[in-house]
Structure 1
Amino acid sequence: MEGRIIDVHGKKLYTEYNNSFKNKPTIVFLHDSLGSTQLWRDFPAKLAEATQCNTLIYDRLGYGKSFPMPTHERENNYMELEADVLNDLLNELKIDEVILFGHSDGGTIALITASKYPEKVKATICEAGHIFLEDITVKGVKDAWEAYRTTNLSERLQKYHGDKVEMIVKAWTEIWLSDRFRSWNIEYLLKNITSPLLFIQGEGDEYGTLDQVEKTVSQVSGRAEKFIIPNIGHTPHKENPEVVLERSGEFIHKILNS
Structure 2
Amino acid sequence: MAALATLSSLRLRLLVSWLKPRVVAAAAYGTSIKSAKVEVNGVHLHYQQTGEGKHAVLLLPGMLGSGESDFGPQLKNLNKQLFTIVAWDPRGYGHSIPPNRDFPVDFFERDAKDAVDLMKTLKFKSVSLLGWSDGGITALIAAAKYPSYINKLVIWGANAYVTDEDEMIYHGIRDVSKWSERTRKPLEVLYGREYLAKTCENWVDGILQFKDLPDGNICRHLLPLVKCPTLIIHGEKDPLVPRFHADFIHKHVKGSRLHLMPEGKHNLHLRFADEFNKLVQDFLQ
Q: TM-score range by the shorter chain?
A: 0.7 to 0.9
Q: Is the aligned partner of 1:106 residue 2:135? A: yes
Q: Name structure 2 gaps, 5 residues minimum.
A: 1-32
Residue 158 (structure 1) aligned to one of 179, 188, 197: 188
Is residue 63–residue 168 contact of structure 1 (8 Å, CA) maintained in 2? no
Alpha-carbon distance in structure 2 between the residues aligned to 1:157 and 1:239: 19
Q: Is the 8 A contact 2:163 2:216 kept in 1?
A: no
**Using the alignment, how far apart are the partners of 1:198 and 1:124 within structure 2?**
6
Please list the CA deviations of residues 31-73 of structure 1 after superposition, one character each: whole Å capped at 9, or x if unmatched. Answer: 0002111112232331234x7210111111111111233463x
Aligned residues: 248
Distance in 1 between residues matched to 2:163 and 2:130, nearest whole Å: 23
> Does the Cα contact within 8 Å between 2:55 and 2:83 map onto a contact in 1?
yes
Please, which runs of 5 or more residues in structure 1 have no aligned partner? 254-258
Alignment partner of 1:3 out of 5, 30, 35: 35
SS at the partner of 1:48?
coil
CA distance in 2, matches of 1:18, 1:89: 15
TM-score, length-normalised on structure 1? 0.87
Give the structure with the higher percent helix.
Answer: 2
- Aligned equivalent of 1:88: 117
Matched, 1:231 2:263: yes
Give the alignment of 1:36-185 within 5 angstroms.
36-39=66-69, 40-49=71-80, 52-70=82-100, 72=102, 74-152=103-181, 153-162=183-192, 164-178=195-209, 180=212, 183-185=216-218
The verdict on how the C-alpha distance between 1:70 and 1:35 changes in structure 2, with shifts beyond 3 A counting, is closer
Structure 1 71/237 Cα, relative in aligned 2: closer, same or farther at 3 Å?
closer
Q: 1:150: Cα distance to partner?
A: 4.9
Residues 30 and 103, structure 1, Cα contact 8 Å, conserved in 2: yes
What letter corresponds to residue 26 of structure 1 in structure 2?
Answer: A
Answer yes or no: is the 8 Å Cα contact 1:100–1:124 preserved in 2. Answer: yes
**In structure 1, distance between residues paired with 2:253 and 2:247:** 11
Counterpart in 1 of 2:284? 252
The question of 1:32 aligning with 2:66 is answered: no
Cross-structure match for 2:21: none
Q: Is the CA contact (8 Å cut-off) linking 1:136 and 1:206 kept in structure 2?
A: no
What is aligned with 1:240? 272
Q: Which residue type is aligned with residue 281 of structure 2? A: G
CA distance in 2, matches of 1:129, 1:38: 20
Greater mean deviation of Cα atoms: 38-47 or 191-200: 38-47
Identity %: 21
RMSD of aligned Cα (Å): 2.1
1:198 aligns with 2:207: no
Is the CA contact (8 Å cut-off) linking 2:58 and 2:129 kept in structure 1? yes
Residue 187 to residue 4, structure 1, CA distance change in 2 (3 Å): same
